Amino acid sequence: MRVLGIDPGLTRCGVGVVEGVAGRPLTMLGVGVVRTPADAELGDRLVAVEQGIEAWLDEYAPGYVAVERVFAQHNVRTVMGTAQASAVAMLCAARRGIPVALHTPSEVKAAVTGSGRAEKAQVGAMVTRLLRLDAPPRPADAADALALAICHIWRAPAQNRLQQAVAAHRTQGTARVPGTSRNPTTSRTAGTPAPSSTSATPRTSGAADTPRISRTLKGPAA
């Protein structure tokens, strides 16, 4: 599995490609950032982000793209720029038919470090250890992008099993014919009377259940 992790941002958009499967050592194929000048027009900056991500998609041809899910922050301007860069990343992937997964920062931290409240330095240190790097990637946005890719590789098998189970449940539900009984042994043809609780053997009217013993009455002895 080859995953392109994207830590969205307008000034620095972190990107990192990781290859491998869950339970085995992972390999980093590339890491870096897509930069845009802060004094440029918003539209031009978004175009620059798009061109940078397209270049990474062309070079590494990932099978999946993992993007950090954007959450509201106190700085509205910052979160707006992050959301716009995130939308560009998802657009680039969707245009090529590449599946996109969104992971929250706490999910990524928990997957990589074991704690959803880990600091950026801890995330960088664990990424360095897991990918067997000589030093933590710089800047931190690049390390976060690798952490996103690692998180998706480790979480994808469980997510796929869950999606398959949900799909199978829906398929079974639609396969039933409306109006039919779930228990075939209790179904009856419409209009057929229900069986009586009495015995099915006909009984002759007036016949006694126990045969009578006939006796001849004799008069008194002479």
104 and 111 in contact (C-beta within 8 Å)?
A: no
The CA distance from 156 to 42, in Å, is 34
112 and 151 in contact (C-beta within 8 Å)?
A: yes
Could you confirm whether 134 is annotated as catalytic? no
Residue 188 buriedness (CB in 10 A; 0-12 / 13-18 / 19+): exposed
Could you confirm whether 141 is annotated as catalytic? yes
* From 19, 68, 134, 209, the catalytic residue: 68
96 and 57 in contact (C-beta within 8 Å)?
A: yes
* From 7, 39, 44, 134, the catalytic residue: 7
Could you confirm whether 68 is annotated as catalytic? yes
The CA distance from 10 to 21, in Å, is 31
Strands 12-19 and 27-35: antiparallel
* From 39, 119, 141, 209, the catalytic residue: 141
Q: Report the greatest alpha carbon distance in the chain.
A: 147
Report the catalytic residues.
7, 68, 141
